[in-house]
Amino acid sequence: AQSVAQPEDQVNVAEGNPLTVKCTYSVSGNPYLFWYVQYPNRGLQFLLKYITGDNLVKGSYGFEAEFNKSQTSFHLKKPSALVSDSALYFCAVRGPYNTDKLIFGTGTRLQVFP
């Protein structure tokens, strides 16, 4: 069965510092991995996805994520955090079969302090 874990409920970082939001997954076969962001009173916005190829994926708003097969992780990163990055971040995974659903993590709240 597929699953995804976001081990931190909240991540706090000072503006200008690098940020990391962690995600680990479990899936049979090759994973398809996604990151979404949710601002207050808004829906989920797609940030980036890993399908195949280069392990470092670049996405919207300066975010990137690194796929690590041996550690079954897909951590979201940004070199320099902005206060406006404060939001709820969701990792999601799908297995390689057409019947596999997109499974979301419970979310990590990122708080960037000025």
Interaction of residue 42 with other proteins, rule CB under 8 A: yes
Rank residues 42 and 113 by Cβ distance to other proteins and give the closer one: 42
How far apart, in whole angstroms, are the C-alpha atoms of residue 7 and residue 23? 7
Tell me which of 25, 34, 67, 89 binds other proteins, using CB under 8 A: 34
| Site for other proteins contains 104 (CB under 8 A) | yes
Q: Would you count residue 82 as binding other proteins (CB under 8 A)?
A: no
The two three-digit tokens of residue 7, written as one number: 């081990």
Binder to other proteins among 44, 73, 75, 86 (CB under 8 A)?
44
Two tokens, residue 91: 């990792």
Q: Which stretch binds other proteins (CB under 8 A): 34-42, 56-64, 65-73, 77-85?
A: 34-42
| CB contact at 8 A, 2 and 103 | yes
Distances (CA, A) of 22 to 1, 105, 107, 114: 20, 11, 10, 22
